[in-house]
Amino acid sequence: MKFISWNIDSINAAVEHKSARGEMTWQVLQDIAAQQPDVLAIQETKLKATGLTKKQAAALDELFPGYHRYLRMSTGRSGYSGTMMLSRQEPINVEMPEIGAPGEMDIEGRVITLEFANTYVSTVYTPNSGSALARLDDRQSWDDAYRAYMQQLDAHKPVIFSGDFNVAHQEIDLKNPKSNHKKAGFTDEEREHFSRLLDAGFTDTFRYLHPDQAGVYTWWAQISKTSKINNSGWRIDYYLTSNRLNDQLDEMSVIDTGARQDHAPIMLTMTDDFTL
């Protein structure tokens, strides 16, 4: 069984693909469709509160025929944040939870959870701590609330959850840890809260399967023209699973996006005996 997760940075940019970067984004989406994942999670859709346009819906229908599609848009700031999940199998329940996060974080469309017979599959777009760490205190409150929500799910059945967590956990997870220490995504506070999430009963699937592998990243800054060329990246996108699923983990990898910077999709495969 195959799961893919990706921060797309705008559904509309991919569907319209009117720029060079838009063309690359559209190609990555086509490559994902060719993989025929059982569940696809998308973050940062940047959709308006009204959801997909007819053109966007038609494009996704063509790429992912027969999939069940679930959207969550920001109801605060329009065209901001947002998540989407597509599943080949219809879930028995769909939750768009409010986790008790501070400020407007709960209405920014950041979490979707699909419930299946044996498993929850969830996606998250974790808030960025922001320029000058202006949102770091709220981010820590988010991390605490999100961890409690995941533990609540895990108490009922195992969880597979993915997304842009906006944190590189360890020094091995980014190219330049010393120069980025105390910057958003690599503060001591964010890293500690991610450790607490793992300690609550969850596994970082990539690091579990590849404990010492360096140089594998999921995000390269667009502001630097050479970040991808030099592989000056960060691993901030994750598939996390309940610890009791460890024996059913097969592989976790990053999908190649060529010259495209920003986020790359990640793919988790489970062993043949795994069922939703």
**Catalytic positions:** 125, 164, 263
Residues 6+ apart with CB under 8 A from 109: 45, 72, 73, 74, 75, 81, 82, 83, 125
The letter for the amino acid at 264 is A
The letter for the amino acid at 107 is I
For 199, how many CA atoms within 13 A lie in the half-sphere containing its CB? 8
176 is in an annotated binding site: no
68 is in an annotated binding site: no
156 is in an annotated binding site: no
12 is in an annotated binding site: no
Q: Could you report how far apart the first and last alpha carbons of the chain are, in Å?
A: 9
Q: Which two tokens mark 35? A: 């993989």
The letter for the amino acid at 108 is E
54 SS3 class? helix
Binding site, by residue number, is 7, 44, 164, 166, 262-263
Binding site for Mg(2+), by residue number, is 7, 44, 164, 166, 262-263
